[in-house]
């Protein structure tokens, strides 16, 4: 049987959580409120020391709930932070949607997940329906390339089946493939000279960067691979040939071989440009998170699909170009699918979610909980 969702209560907690300030590394108020809500549910909550490690004011919240029925432990995870501008959010109804007042993001990414998990659990317990043991993990600093979850002690997780509620797209769709992200940072060294009297004695670090970038293949590389320059920093007077320029870029792919090729070609473009101008470049490359690909028969994909079909939702397996905490869970050997949450235009001040989608998301959580013994 499918549990009933209390839509009014769900909407209330969604609005309340959206209105709490929670920009990355400043999740204190959100963590406190969620701790209170979980404690009221009878859940034991602990907070790790990720806040102090990242220079933030809150850590990842980890909670366990004993099961009231058979089945293996399930992990549900969402992130507490949201992108900037994410403070002073005034969530409001606009027709069938919930929106912000247009001066901030809404924060549905990822409050929709948080509110749906809380309501799903509350509804199932209220109706006395059996559910398996649960682990909840609410992360910080997800929007900073997953730095929060990266700090979490993976050995604490006992689940072998996880769900991350954190993707756009219609509720019912399941993300089964996501890319690895590599960050490439470069410091270019040229030689300073007077730009008017002896420019021929200088080597322009800005020119080296420009030549390198012009020689790079960027943006959409192929159907699995992307690359982008995020920033170029050089700040000097016009009468000095610049001897310093910094550049940061990223590349992503769901295919490790293609990613390696893309990163190598970006590196080569920088080295070639520096060499031919007589300058030099220091390059550092870091993999922020690894890619994953889930089998349709894997536990989370199968369970999420079954639950969605019981609700009459359109089930579709899809890939994403974005990372989520699921990249880490999968890397840690916990097969984890990302559930699409119905939020739209995320990371913009036009972010919105339909009330009907939010409701379906909570129903989906409840259906997964109560379907787990199948």
Q: Which is nearer to Zn ion, 174 or 372 (CB)?
A: 174
Applying CB under 5 A, among 81, 110, 344, 351 the residue interacting with Zn ion is 110
Which among 9-17, 108-116, 217-225, 263-271 is the span making contact with Zn ion, rule CB under 5 A? 108-116
Applying CB under 5 A, among 23, 47, 81, 109 the residue interacting with Zn ion is 109
Q: Which is nearer to Zn ion, 81 or 243 (CB)?
A: 81
Judged by CB under 5 A, does residue 344 bind Zn ion? no
Which among 10-18, 102-110, 126-134, 337-345 is the span making contact with Zn ion, rule CB under 5 A? 102-110
Number of residues forming the site for Zn ion (CB under 5 A): 3
Q: How far is CA 206 from CA 107, 211, 231, 236, 274, in A?
A: 38, 9, 12, 10, 10
Q: Which is nearer to Zn ion, 54 or 203 (CB)?
A: 54
Exposed / middle / buried, residue 103 (Cβ in 10 Å: 0-12, 13-18, 19+): exposed
Q: Which is nearer to Zn ion, 47 or 109 (CB)?
A: 109
Q: Which is nearer to Zn ion, 146 or 245 (CB)?
A: 146
Among residues 23, 47, 119, 142, which one is catalytic? 142
Nearest to 365 by CA among 5, 63, 106: 5
Rounded least distance, CB 135 to Zn ion, Å: 19
Which among 84-92, 101-109, 179-187, 296-304 is the span making contact with Zn ion, rule CB under 5 A? 101-109
Q: Which is nearer to Zn ion, 166 or 299 (CB)?
A: 166
Examine the residue annotation and report whether 246 is marked as an active-site residue of this protein: no
Long-range contacts of 155-160, Cβ-Cβ distance < 8 Å, separation of 24 or more: 156/62, 157/75, 157/329, 157/332, 157/334, 158/73, 159/72, 159/73, 159/74, 159/75, 159/135, 159/334, 160/72, 160/73, 160/299, 160/334, 160/335
Give 1's contacts (C-beta < 8 A, 6+ positions apart).
Answer: 129, 370
DSSP string for 251-281: EEESSHHHHHHHHHHHHHHHHHHHHHHT-EE
Name beta bridge partners: 187.
246, 282
Rounded least distance, CB 105 to Zn ion, Å: 11
Rounded least distance, CB 184 to Zn ion, Å: 24
Sign (positive or negative) of CA dihedral 106, 149, 167, 230: positive
Rounded least distance, CB 2 to Zn ion, Å: 27
Rounded least distance, CB 124 to Zn ion, Å: 24
Q: Check if the beta carbon of residue 20 is closer than 8 Å to that of residue 81.
A: no
Q: Which helix (H) or strand (E) covers residue 359, if one does?
A: helix 355-371
Among residues 23, 27, 47, 81, which one is catalytic? 81
Rounded least distance, CB 110 to Zn ion, Å: 4
Map residues 143-182 to x or -, x wherever contact with Zn ion holds by CB under 5 A: -----------------------x----------------
Q: What is the DSSP letter of 50?
A: H
**What's the rounded Cα separation, in Å, for the pair 185 and 284?**
5
Examine the residue annotation and report whether 255 is marked as an active-site residue of this protein: no
Which among 85-93, 105-113, 230-238, 272-280 is the span making contact with Zn ion, rule CB under 5 A? 105-113
220 sits in the region (left: phi over 0; alpha: psi -120 to 50; else beta) called: beta
Q: Which helix (H) or strand (E) covers residue 85, if one does?
A: none
**Residues lying near Zn ion in the complex (CB under 5 A):** 109-110, 166
Residues with catalytic roles: 81, 142
């Amino acid at each position: 049987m499918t549990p009933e969702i209390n839509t009014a209560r769900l909407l209330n907690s969604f609005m309340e959580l959206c209105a709490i300030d929670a920009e990355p590394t400043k999740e204190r108020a959100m963590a406190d409120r969620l701790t209170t809500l979980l404690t009221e549910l009878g859940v034991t909550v602990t907070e790790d020391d990720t806040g102090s490690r990242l220079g933030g004011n809150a850590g990842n919240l980890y909670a366990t709930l004993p099961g009231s029925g058979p089945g293996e432990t399930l992990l549900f995870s969402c992130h507490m932070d949201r992108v900037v501008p994410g403070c002073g959010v005034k969530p409001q109804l606009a027709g069938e949607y919930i929106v912000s007042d247009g001066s901030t993001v809404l924060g549905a990414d990822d409050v929709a997940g948080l509110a749906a998990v809380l309501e799903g659990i509350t509804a199932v317990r209220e109706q006395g329906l059996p559910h398996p043991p649960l682990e909840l993990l609410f992360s910080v600093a997800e929007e900073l390339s997953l730095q929060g979850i990266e700090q979490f002690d993976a050995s604490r997780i006992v689940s072998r089946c996880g769900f991350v509620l954190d993707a756009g797209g219609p509720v019912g769709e399941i993300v089964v493939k996501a890319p690895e992200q590599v960050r490439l940072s470069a410091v270019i060294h040229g030689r300073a000279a007077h730009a008017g009297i002896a420019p021929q004695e200088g080597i322009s670090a800005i020119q080296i960067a420009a030549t390198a970038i012009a020689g790079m293949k960027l943006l959409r590389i192929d159907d699995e691979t992307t690359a982008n320059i995020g920033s170029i920093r050089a700040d000097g007077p016009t009468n000095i040939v610049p001897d310093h320029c910094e550049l940061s870029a990223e590349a992503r792919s769901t295919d490790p071989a293609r990613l390696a090729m893309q990163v190598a070609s970006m590196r080569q473009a920088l080295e070639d440009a520096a060499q031919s101008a007589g300058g030099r470049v220091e390059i550092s490359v870091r993999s922020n998170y690894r890619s994953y690909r889930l089998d349709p028969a894997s536990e989370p994909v199968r369970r999420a699909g079954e639950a969605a079909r019981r609700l009459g939702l359109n089930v579709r397996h899809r890939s994403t170009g974005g990372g989520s905490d699921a990249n880490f869970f999968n890397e840690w050997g916990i097969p984890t699918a990302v559930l699409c949450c119905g939020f739209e235009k995320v990371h913009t001040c036009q972010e919105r979610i339909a009330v009907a989608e939010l409701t379906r998301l909570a129903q989906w959580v409840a259906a997964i909980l109560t379907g787990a013994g199948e």
